[in-house]
Amino acid sequence: MTHRRDLLKLLAAAAPAVLGAGSFPHALRAQAVQAGLITPNVCALMPEVTEGPYYIDPGLIRADIRERRPGLPLRMRLQVVDPVCNPIAGARVDVWQCDAQGNYSGYARQGSDRVSDTTGQTFLRGTQIAGQDGVAAFQSIYPGWYRGRTAHVHFKVFLDQRNVLTGQMFFPDSFSDGVYAQVSAYARDGRDREVRNSNDGIARQAGDAAYAALTQIDGGYDAALVIGVSPDAVSRGGQRPRRGGGGQGMPPPPPRG
């Protein structure tokens, strides 16, 4: 029987995320399911990457973060596990992303043209607490793009006051190209995105394991990502959520006993 630590490494090496969900062999899917994982696309530990300029804590514990924002429906499932694949229940997971036109909520000078003002708005932001299976799920839309970045969704995983993993979830370029070309909410006035996964520095830093496994579901798509977190790690920065967007803020989970 494969040891859980070895299984995590095996899955990471055998199923490059950039190929997309359809490329996973049935055997790998079966091994992942047997280990209690939502996707074979995993790594031992998720690398921490930059938070970016648009994180705020609006104090919203909610699964549906859309606020009627137009776009391709996307269910996101983030599963928090330790280095040997054991789910971490009770982890706080924050997500935030831009809308179909590349705008984040809660800030002025938004999008590629830097003219939109979304101050005081909270769309496409939310918090969920991971269940016994380590999964935090959100109803969202497929992220748009803005100048200088490839398509991505930000996340923070809080285990306690000191252990905070800041990361980003990415998507296959071929899928993004199809969404942007075929879904009217993402249409731009003759402008094409210049940055793709291959020339996005943060995507390269995050590596293959930061790419979502995409599958079609009723009404849209499912994006699944397994996030490996070391329970003993200490974040390099951003331990405490910042309040903003008119919300009251929430504390991270209490220290673990």
**Cβ atoms within 10 A of the Cβ of 148, count?**
11
Structure tokens at 8: 């995590």
Residue 71 has pLDDT above 90, yes or no: yes
DSSP string for 48-116: P----TT--B---B-SB--TT--S-EEEEEEEEE-TTS-B-TT-EEEEE---TTSPPTT-SSBTTTT-B
The boundaries of the domain holding residue 185 are 4-228
250: pLDDT strictly greater than 90: no
Q: Pick 10 or 72 by higher pLDDT.
A: 72
Domain contains 190: yes
Residue 123, pLDDT score: 97
Within a domain: residue 114?
yes
Inform me whether the pLDDT recorded for 45 exceeds 70: no
* Residue 94 resides in a domain: yes
Q: How far apart are CA 138 and CA 124, in angstroms?
A: 10
- Calculate mean pLDDT across residues 117-125: 96
Within a domain: 233:
no
- The reply to whether 184 falls in a domain is yes
**SS3 state at 215:** strand
Q: Can you give the CATH number for the domain in which 202 is found?
A: 2.60.130.10
Q: What is the phi/psi pair of residue 56, to 5°?
A: -135, 165
Mean pLDDT of the chain: 82
Whether pLDDT at 232 is above 60: yes
Instruction: For residue 255, tell me if it sits in a domain.
Output: no
- Does pLDDT of 114 surpass 60? yes
pLDDT at 133: 95
State the pTM of this model. 0.84
**Could you give the number of structural domains in the chain?**
1
What span, in angstroms and rounded, lies between the C-alpha atoms of 86 and 234?
A: 19
Q: Is the pLDDT of residue 253 over 90?
A: no
Are the C-beta atoms of 237 and 74 separated by less than 8 Å?
A: no
Q: In this predicted structure, what is the pLDDT of residue 239?
A: 39
**Domain assignment present for 112:** yes
Residue 234 falls within a domain, yes or no? no
Name the token pair of 9. 């490494």
Model pLDDT for residues 237-249, shown as the tens digit of each residue: 543 444 443 333 4
Query: DSSP assignment, residue 188?
Result: -
Q: What share of the chain is helix, strand, coil (3-state, %, to 5)?
A: 20, 25, 55
The answer, yes or no, to whether residue 87 has pLDDT greater than 80, is yes
| Confidence category of residue 155, pLDDT binned at 50, 70, 90 | very high
Beta bridge partners of 157: 93, 165
Question: Distance between CA 89 and CA 180 in Å, rounded?
Answer: 35
